[in-house]
């Protein structure tokens, strides 16, 4: 690693962006649990629960690359505070809903806020990172992972005391964060409006010229990387949706316990993200992705065969291992397209990761037919496919570029 861990943590711009990431993703992280609350409120099937999560994920994913293109061509740091507020406003609307369709509108609005926030913020984080990019990006990413972990706890707390209307509590938190981002827009503007060029980042020219001079092209390795991220996202979204459902419907635990278990898994995953950055800097991002998916496969398979402390131990290991490669995919993608940081960030964080919600909808249909337990076998198979594609991508690069696996 070319930059000390201490100096990365002293990067105030990076920490502010990470905090904004946390607050924005509180809302996204709460969606799976809120969907369960809606299931009880409106007597929904597992398929409709999947539809609710699909709406939130697709609105935060399919459109996100478009925000990325805007980020590369124009100065759009204002999208960060706007996205944060929209994410909280959508969750508040879902809480105040009087029908399932209004709740879906809330999920849609919240997802759009997430979509607006991520490309610009990941671009800014990459630029202010300096050296040791995987480590720095992992610190920024861990904010989002913590948001995903804390979101269900916060939603569960609001729901316990005030029911669904309590979800309005997300709104003032996001408004406060947006105010903090607005106060810092000038310095963030200087960073995110800069041009990154390999192998170092130059804080000089605006991205417009670079984008025009070098058109964005979908290369074979980039498409393979997006598929790998999509498969991992499918698994992650499946776990965040079906672990609490498995705990409540099969193990007959309470909803509060299910929410706590989900938050436990996601918060441990945040630790994995934090650890994964320096490991990727030292041993290679592609190698870390491959090992992460390969080791996660048997752990996912064992989830429905465990209970109590054994289940917690498996989820802890799974969270650390599966999330450890989170920042690696982003770093690889940004290295592939250094003149299109916003676009490639939108594709990876938005489209590839967010489209995991499509997979959850498919899993919901399967669960309605054969139950929850077989779902975990399906998730293990997806990890196996992802590990194989990662190996293929690494070998393809070695052959084409004459480079060693790194």
pLDDT at residue 189 in the model: 56
Residue 306 covered by a domain: yes
Q: What is the CATH number of the domain that holds 277?
A: 1.20.1250.20
pLDDT at residue 131 in the model: 62
Which strand (E) or helix (H) includes residue 245? helix 220-245
What tens digit of pLDDT does each residue of 29-67 get? 898 889 888 988 888 887 888 788 878 877 887 788 888
Residue 298 covered by a domain: yes
For residue 135, is pLDDT > 80? Answer: no
Residue 20 covered by a domain: yes
Domain that holds residue 221: 5-401
For residue 391, is pLDDT > 70? Answer: yes
What tens digit of pLDDT does each residue of 77-124 get? 888 999 999 999 999 999 999 999 999 999 999 999 998 998 888 777
- Higher-pLDDT residue of 210 and 307 is 307
pLDDT at residue 248 in the model: 83
pLDDT at residue 36 in the model: 84
For residue 207, what are its two tokens?
């991205």
| 403: number of Cβ within 10 Å | 10
Which strand (E) or helix (H) includes residue 34? helix 12-42
d(CA 386, CA 174): 35
pLDDT at residue 60 in the model: 80
Which strand (E) or helix (H) includes residue 196? strand 195-196
pLDDT at residue 386 in the model: 92
d(CA 273, CA 330): 12
Confidence of residue 8 (pLDDT cuts 50, 70, 90): low
Give the pLDDT mean for 194-211. Answer: 39
Residue 236 covered by a domain: yes
pLDDT at residue 398 in the model: 58
Confidence of residue 10 (pLDDT cuts 50, 70, 90): low
For residue 212, is pLDDT > 60? Answer: no
For residue 124, what are its two tokens?
């800014």
What percent of the chain lies above the pLDDT cut of 70?
Answer: 85
Q: Decide if 68 contacts 346 (C-beta within 8 A).
A: yes
Average the pLDDT over each of 7-11, 28-32, 75-79, 284-288 and give the range with the smallest value: 7-11
d(CA 121, CA 68): 10
Under DSSP, the state recorded for 21 is H
pLDDT at residue 140 in the model: 84
Confidence of residue 382 (pLDDT cuts 50, 70, 90): very high
Residue 21 covered by a domain: yes
Per the structure, the count of domains in the chain is 1
Residue 406 covered by a domain: no
d(CA 233, CA 353): 5
What tens digit of pLDDT does each residue of 137-189 get? 788 888 887 887 788 889 989 998 999 999 999 999 999 999 998 887 766 65
Residue 248 covered by a domain: yes
pLDDT at residue 317 in the model: 94
Global pTM reads 0.72
List, in order, residues 6 or more apart from 355 with CB less than 8 Å away. Answer: 57, 58, 61, 62, 230, 233, 234
Confidence of residue 210 (pLDDT cuts 50, 70, 90): very low
C-alpha 56, offset from chain centre = 13
**Rounded to 5 degrees, what are φ and ψ at 265?**
-60, -45
């Amino acid at each position: 690693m070319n930059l000390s861990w201490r100096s990365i943590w002293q990067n105030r711009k990076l920490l502010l962006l990470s905090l904004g990431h946390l607050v924005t993703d509180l809302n996204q992280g709460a969606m799976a649990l809120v969907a369960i609350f809606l299931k009880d409120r409106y007597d929904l099937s597992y398929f409709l629960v999947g539809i609710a999560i699909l709406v939130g994920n697709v609105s935060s994913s399919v459109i996100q690359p478009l925000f990325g293109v805007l980020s590369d061509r124009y100065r759009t740091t204002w999208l960060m505070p706007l996205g944060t507020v929209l994410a909280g406003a959508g969750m508040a609307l879902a809480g105040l809903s009087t029908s399932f369709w209004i709740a879906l509108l809330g999920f849609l609005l919240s997802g759009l806020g997430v979509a607006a926030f991520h490309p610009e913020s990941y671009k800014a984080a990459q630029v202010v990172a300096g050296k040791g990019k995987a480590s720095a990006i992992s610190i920024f990413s861990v904010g989002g992972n913590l948001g995903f972990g804390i979101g269900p706890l916060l939603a569960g707390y609001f729901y316990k005391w005030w029911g669904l209307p309590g979800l309005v509590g997300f709104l003032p938190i996001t408004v406060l964060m947006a105010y903090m981002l607005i106060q810092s827009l000038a310095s963030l503007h200087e960073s995110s409006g800069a041009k990154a060029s390999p192998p170092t980042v130059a804080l000089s020219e605006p991205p417009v010229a670079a984008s025009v001079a070098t058109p964005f092209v979908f290369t074979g390795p980039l498409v393979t990387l997006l598929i790998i991220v999509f498969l991992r996202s499918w698994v992650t979204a499946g776990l965040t949706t079906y672990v609490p459902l498995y705990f409540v419907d099969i193990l007959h635990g309470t909803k509060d316990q299910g929410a706590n278990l989900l938050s436990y898994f996601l918060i441990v995953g945040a630790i994995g993200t934090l650890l994964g950055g320096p490991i990727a800097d030292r041993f290679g991002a592609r190698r870390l992705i491959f090992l992460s998916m390969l080791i996660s496969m048997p752990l996912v398979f064992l989830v429905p065969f465990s209970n109590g402390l054994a289940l917690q131990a498996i989820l802890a290991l799974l969270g650390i291992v599966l999330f450890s490669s989170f920042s690696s995919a982003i770093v690889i993608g940004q290295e592939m397209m250094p003149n299109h940081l916003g676009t490639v960030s939108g594709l990876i964080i938005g489209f590839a990761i967010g489209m995991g919600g499509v997979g959850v909808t498919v899993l919901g249909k399967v669960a309605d037919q054969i139950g929850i337990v077989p779902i975990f076998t399906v998730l293990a198979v997806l990890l196996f496919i992802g590990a194989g594609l990662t190996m293929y991508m690494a070998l393809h690069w070695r052959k084409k570029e004459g480079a060693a696996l790194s």
